[in-house]
Amino acid sequence: MSLDKPSSVQPVLRSRLLPRISFQSLFALTTLSALIASLARVAGDGGALALAVMVAIAFPLSCFLLFAILFLFSWAITFLWYDQEEEDTLKGSPFAAGQLPPQIMPPRDPSL
């Protein structure tokens, strides 16, 4: 009797549908969330240092959120109203092979 696996046995493949998040990262996220929640409770009760730490945490997060919203707004505007085909027919790419960039200034007189 052979100890080799029969050809019908295939290895178990990991699912690509589930995100690859480890339990360690989930525990760390839960611990961090609990610390921030307890800090917010102390800040709500009148703790000055806790309030300062909450402001120091909330300010960069609110800036990041504002920047993300502004980026998505500007991206949506360019995505909806930018017609790439029309602009490419009027101009050429100066980096394309065999094509000179558009000339802005007239050429100099070589006799001078």
CB-based contacts of 57, cutoff 8 Å, min separation 6: 36
- pTM for the full predicted model: 0.50
Please compute Rg for the chain using Cα positions: 30
Q: What is the pLDDT along the chain (112 residues), one digit of tens a residue?
A: 555 666 666 676 666 776 778 889 999 999 999 999 999 999 999 999 999 999 999 999 999 999 999 999 999 988 887 666 655 555 656 666 666 666 777 777 777 6
At 61 the three-state DSSP class reads helix
Distances (CA, A) of 96 to 2, 4, 87, 100, 101: 63, 58, 15, 8, 9
